[in-house]
Chains A and B, each alone.
Chain A
Amino acid sequence: MNIALTTELRASYGFIERNINIVKRYWAWEVVWLFYSITNSLAVAFIAPGVGALNAGVDTRVLVLYLIIGTIVWRYLSVIFYWLTDVIGMERWEGTIEYTLMAPITRFTHLAGHTAFAVVYSMFHTVVILAVTAIFFEIDLSRANLLGGAIVLLVGSVSFIGFGIVAAILPLLFPEKGQQMTHVIISLLLLVSGVYYPVAVLPPALRFFATYSPATYVLEGARAALLDGAPTIALWQFLAPLIAMGALAIPFGLWLFGIAERYAKKTGKLKRNG
């Protein structure tokens, strides 16, 4: 194998290995975070029987699955987003930012390793939440196209990665408050993407933003596959915009990250603790 490629792959693996070690060392925090995520998802899912108790005409079994898909998909995407936006924040917190950013590797290598870990971590996190949720609710997946749902989720995560890379620029440019600013982006995506309700109920201005959120297509695609049992070929209408968004957002994010890094080097913002 080409030496340069081997070097980059080893460096990329270095980020995966480092993040695994960090998760192992902060295991107590991981337990707390997982507990919080599970209770949060359960609280959302219990809205369905709650609505059923208020209005006897509602099909609570469908509503439960609708909300569970929403909360599970959102957990999966948002965990990837948070890991990506923390790529700079965690280095600032630990004080290693200068050391990592003066290493002889491309930013693509850096972000590829970090992202690969984020996707696997998020999958594990999501499976645990799903397993616990399944204990509390009778989930009927007899009509579901599980493979189609998984494809939508995987393709969706790729386009979400692009958004995460763009958002990761904020902590680079604003050492003190940049990390908090990323919460604005994720909360806006939560609002417009139809996580717990159909996008159709939103006012026109918000529906406009929903068109540009990858989460909208992931959620609609996942619901079509799991709730309606839509065949994989029929999911193309959701996959196509996701692929297009990923193809644009990832190179754009990397390009923008490069510009932001250069700006940070000019203004002296690549320092620990801001």
Chain B
Amino acid sequence: MEHTIALEIQNVSKHFNPGAFNPLKRNGAKKPVLAVNDISITVQRGEIFGVLGPNGSGKSTFIRLISTLLVPDAGSVNIFGLDIERDERAVQRLINRVSVEAAFFKKLSPLENLLYGARLYGLSGADARAKIEVILKRLDLRADAINRPMEEMSRGMQQKVAIARALLTAPILLLLDEPTTGLDPRSKREVQTLVRELRDTHDATIVLTTHDMLEADGLCDRIAIIDAGRIVALDTPVELKKLVAANGHVPTSDSSAFYRTLGHEPTLEEVFLQLTGKKLVEDK
């Protein structure tokens, strides 16, 4: 595929109307929620593009729109030049997704779940088994775990299998929806290493949502900061940090002086606080 633009989103909005048209809800509809509000983004091929925002900011809706699981109210989403509504089936062949919850048939084993996933994308049983063996070995999944029910595995292990399932279909656009949320530090690092490796060795473009600032900072080429469904800033991590200096206290040209005043290089948490007046992760 010749396209250099992997993902092009133009003026996309999506609202939800909980309870609307549902005769079973006696109290009527709740207030409509504007989950994604006039978002426009262009992601280049080979990029790791981060979407950073707190819970409820619209990150998952954004990913589900690209995944063809939602129809936008307005605007368009194109993946390698294909429209997600008009060319739905062709788009689905190019993408895969790892969600925050590892979505598996819990009683089935990793092998059974992966075989199912592979067949949905047209792989033969023999091809799928060969690929599964290679991928699981790469992910350092214990051999004895492959035939045990998924429900007996740790969250970290399940998430590795979820990544394996996505890799099986060789997507050229991989959507990672908070793939490390809830993982222990070691599993988190392993997944992050894998994301980098994917981009470098599989020619994959990656869209990653997270509310982990360090993760976004370390992995992403560019980051969109999203709040209440709107993009409040979009740039490289370095440039985003400069915003704290520019908007906060000193001119951009003298950001290093500001850093000295601040006592440390600004974090993306501070960027988010600066731009939205909110904390990225609520205090417990």
- The interface of chain A, by Cβ under 8 A from chain B, is 6-8, 10-11, 13-14, 17-18, 21-22, 25-26, 94-106, 174, 176-177, 262, 265-268, 270, 272
User: B24 is contacted by which of A10, A95, A96, A177 (Cβ under 8 Å)?
Assistant: A177
Could you say which residues of chain B place their CB within 8 Å of the CB of A13? Answer: 119
Number of B residues near A (Cβ < 8 Å) is: 39
CB contact under 8 A between A94 and B106, given known A18-B112, A174-B24, A268-B70: yes
Flag whether B233 is at the interface (Cβ < 8 A). Answer: no
DSSP majority for the B interface?
Answer: loop
Q: Residue A17 contacts which of B69, B92, B116, B124 (CB distance < 8 angstroms)?
A: B116
Q: Which of A14, A96, A98, A262 contacts B71 (CB 8 A)?
A: A262
A13 and chain B: residue at smallest CB distance: B119
CB-CB under 8 A from B24, the residues of chain A are 174, 176-177
By the criterion CB–CB under 8 Å, are B103 and A96 in contact? yes
For B159, what are the chain A residues with a Cβ–Cβ distance below 8 Å?
A: none
* Interface pair B101/A18, CB less than 8 Å apart: no
18 sample A-B contacts, Cβ–Cβ < 8 Å, listed by A number: A10-B119, A14-B116, A17-B119, A22-B107, A25-B108, A94-B103, A94-B104, A98-B97, A99-B165, A103-B92, A104-B89, A106-B89, A174-B24, A265-B68, A265-B71, A267-B20, A270-B69, A272-B103
Is B266 located at the chain interface by the 8 A CB criterion?
A: no
Per-position binary interface string of chain B over residues 114-139, scored 1 when its CB falls under 8 Å from any chain A CB and 0 otherwise: 01111111111000000000000000
Which B residues lie within 8 Å of A17 (CB)? 115-116, 119
In the bound complex, do residue A98 and residue B99 qualify as a contact, i.e. CB atoms below 8 Å apart? Answer: yes
Check if B108 sits within 8 Å of A95, measured CB to CB: no
Is the CB of B202 closer than 8 A to any CB of chain A?
Answer: no
The answer to whether A265 touches B106, judged by C-beta atoms less than 8 angstroms apart, is no
Whether A102 contacts B67 by the Cβ 8 Å rule is yes
A98-B107 contact given A11-B122, A18-B116, CB 8 Å threshold: no
Please tell me if the beta carbons of B103 and A95 are within 8 angstroms of each other in the complex. yes
- Minimum CB–CB distance from A55 to chain B (whole Å) comes to 46
Q: Is there contact, CB below 8 Å, between A98 and B92?
A: no
Name which residue of chain B comes closest to A99, CB basis. B103
Q: How far is the CA of A233 from the CA of B146 in the complex (A)?
A: 54
Q: Which residues of B contact A21 (CB under 8 A)?
A: 105, 108, 112, 116
Measuring CB to CB, which residues of chain B are less than 8 angstroms from any residue of chain A? 16-17, 20, 22, 24, 61, 64, 67-71, 89-90, 92-93, 95, 97, 99, 101, 103-108, 112, 115-124, 149, 165
Within the complex, the shortest CB–CB distance from B266 to chain A, in Å, comes to: 36
Question: Nearest Cβ in chain A — how far from B114, in angstroms?
Answer: 11
Contact of A101 with B69 at beta-carbon distance under 8 Å, contacts A18-B105, A94-B104, A268-B16 already known: yes
Nearest CB in chain A: distance from B217 CB, A: 28
Q: Is B117 a contact partner of A7 (Cβ separation < 8 A)?
A: no
Which residues of B sit under 8 angstroms from A176, Cβ to Cβ? 24
9 cross-chain pairs, A with B, having the tightest CB-CB distances, nearest first: A14-B119, A7-B122, A104-B92, A103-B120, A25-B107, A18-B116, A104-B93, A95-B103, A265-B71
Are B22 and A174 in touch, CB under 8 angstroms? yes
* Min distance, Cβ A207 to any Cβ of chain B, angstroms: 29
Give the shortest distance, in Å, between B223 (CB) and chain A (any CB): 25
**Complex contacts, A11 vs chain B, CB 8 Å:** 119-122
Inter-chain contacts of A266 with B (CB < 8 A): 70-71
**Please, which residues of chain B bring their CB within 8 A of the CB of A97?**
103
Most buried by B among A21, A97, A176: A21
CB-based contact A98/B112 at 8 Å: no
With a cutoff of 8 Å between Cβ atoms, the chain A residues found around residue B16 in the complex are 267-268
A105 to B22, CA, bound (A): 29
In the complex, the answer to whether B92 meets A22 with C-beta atoms within 8 Å is no
Whether A22 pairs with B71 at a CB distance below 8 angstroms is: no
Are A26 and B107 neighbours in the complex by a CB distance under 8 Å?
yes
Instruction: Decide yes or no: A100 and B122 within 8 Å by CB, A95-B101, A95-B103 being known contacts.
Output: no
Hey, which chain A residues are within 8 Å of B89, CB to CB?
Answer: 104-106
How far apart sit A8 and B24, CA to CA, in the bound complex (Å)? Answer: 37
Bound form: Cα–Cα A13–B118 in Å: 11
Known contacts A94-B103, A96-B105: does B68 contact A102 (CB below 8 Å)? yes
Residue of A nearest to B162 (CB): A99
Chain B residue at smallest Cβ distance from A8: B122
| Extra inter-chain contacts (8) besides given A14-B119, A103-B120, CB under 8 Å | A10-B123, A22-B107, A97-B103, A98-B69, A105-B89, A106-B89, A262-B71, A268-B64
Nearest-neighbour CB distance to chain A for B234, whole angstroms, equals 25
A263 to chain B, nearest CB (A): 9
> Given contacts A22-B107, A104-B92, A265-B70, are A99 and B101 in contact (CB under 8 A)?
no
Residues of A within 8 A of B119 (CB): 10-11, 13-14, 17
Chain B nearest CB from A191 CB (Å) reads 23
> A267 touches which one: B17, B106, B107 (CB < 8 A)?
B17
